[in-house]
Structure 1
Amino acid sequence: MIPLLLLLGSCTLGVKARTLWTERNEITVREGEEIFIKCNYDKTRYVFAKKYWCHGEFSTQCNVLGDNDKRASSARLHIADNKWGTLSITMRNLVPEDSGTYWCGIEKAYADIMISVKLTVIEETVSEPVVAFIGNPRDSCLGLPVSIDCRSTTGRHLNYSWYNQKNRVVIGSNTLKIQCDKLTQADEYYCEASNNKSKIFSSVIRAQLLDSTDNICKYIIILQDHDNYSCPLPTTIMPGITTAIQEVTTSCAATTFQEMSTNVSVELSLYNRMESWASLRWSLPAIELEYLYKAYLPHLSQNVSFQYKRFFSH
């Protein structure tokens, strides 16, 4: 049985130099990384001996973390003895608290053989958070919500918050959801990533409302270091389709799409219109089809919605 505290005088330096050694006695890594250590031993004498890995400033006060019988105190620790003179130790997902002195040891009567390895784990500071779209940013052209992700690549125990241009917290999360009906003419936001050591801010994003001629709220979102996009104007790039929809809504005096969805005659007229658009849909760019599908489908009843989906799936 391996004792948790090795008795005073268990390390014999003269024996250690000849029978147990490692290539590195000092190791420095960054937080989150792993180490792989080979403790070499004299296989002619100690191939069947108990070998272990322990932690403590002194060999006389060393807490055993695992041994070559596959016993380990943590899932982050793996120990293997190849029975050919090498005891391999792997420690994963290292944190600053793992820093300290470790020992390779071989159980031996009267005096265990030990050699030390000093480990230093450098704490990673919080990196500048990167902002990116979640999903298709062009959903903003349809007045749909757009979500933006904020994430730092380094740092531990991170907290995220989004702020507006008035430096007020919008949400205590790494995901910001922008909704058209909540925007003023132009709104700005930025993200903060922080832990108990430091904090840092992202670049500013801008949400800009657009003028609309089809009663659909539209906006664009501008991210620094990202390709900008624009919103198509359906009254100019989809004249056939938008004119047809306007004719249907006007003839039935429907001021909203919700009213249109409750009017059977309007639905029938729209369905007939969809059938007549069959040849036109092949020539429409994908963004225009997406515009129609997302902008008008939610406002129709289930029956017409099914036919509408069929139209776009052709």
Structure 2
Amino acid sequence: MEAEGVVKTSLQLQCDRKQITAHVGGDFLLTCSYDTSRYLYSKKYWCRGNSRETCEILVDSERRTQTKSTHRSHVKDARRRGLFVKVTHLQSDDSGVYWVGIDKIYADIMTSVKVVVTEGKNITFVSVPVSKPSLWPLSSLINRPTCWGQPVTVRCGCARGTGIRYTWYHEQTVLHHSSDLKLHCGAVKRDSSDYYCVAENAVSSLESGVLSVQVLMPADSGCIYVINIQGQPVYDCADRMSTTTTATTPSPTTTPSLTTCQATMKTHTDTRNYSFPINQTDQEQLFSRPWMGMPFWYTLLRCISFASLLMFLIIVLRCTKARHKRAKRKRPVRFRHLAQ
């Protein structure tokens, strides 16, 4: 049970060193990471003692603890960027066992650090502050290697500073403590991500610019992604994406393209015969075109027959009326003749 508790604690709070060796008059900076999903707003502290139960808290992140070493010890909780412990103007009696702790109900989360302060040489070491770190790829981006899924290593470096330590972050989450970030298909999974590097030493800490990664086609191998670094060539993988899309398109999808090409060619061919009102093909289409489920010529013949029959009935009707009028005019004449 104790072994399980130690493993659990180490995963919740980790520091970059278990032992620190420094000289009298010098200083050191300890960098730790912790579970921000659970202890982001908990109090962090730096205490001294051989046992975690009896250690004396020297300073905490809320600056409430006051001891004789408070002015030389500092705890800075940078939230998602990590936890930093800095001790300055070291003295020979500062050697001993220290603890980095996170306040927690029932049992604090703690990890031990051994500090050894030596007399050393009577030389005053002056730490030079770090300059703003720069990012650059170790291989050229002109040939766009990421468009073909090739790995790229990006380095973080400072032009000025002593005892610099580099830490890579992925959207405020610690990735690793190193100056190099290796990007490859297995590492880039999301549509877009931002990375940055923090350079720090005993006296200062600065962030680099943002490294943007846009994943166009995720895959374990042969992926397509674009990286954008300030001061580096800007490129895209549009042609690579179009080539990949065409190569992976099923064959039935290409049929409409061929049909469209043939239709276009046919349209240009028909346009050349513009001197003919209706060519033979158009006539065949005209008389063979279905109309309400029947051929057009049949419908046209029915219309002509109906019109002819209607005209015939009109003519017969007019002739009949004309005969009746003539008959009415002749009858009075005959009656007068008979009366005389």
TM-score by length of 2: 0.33
Structure possessing the higher radius of gyration over alpha carbons:
2
The structure carrying a bigger helix percent of its residues is 2
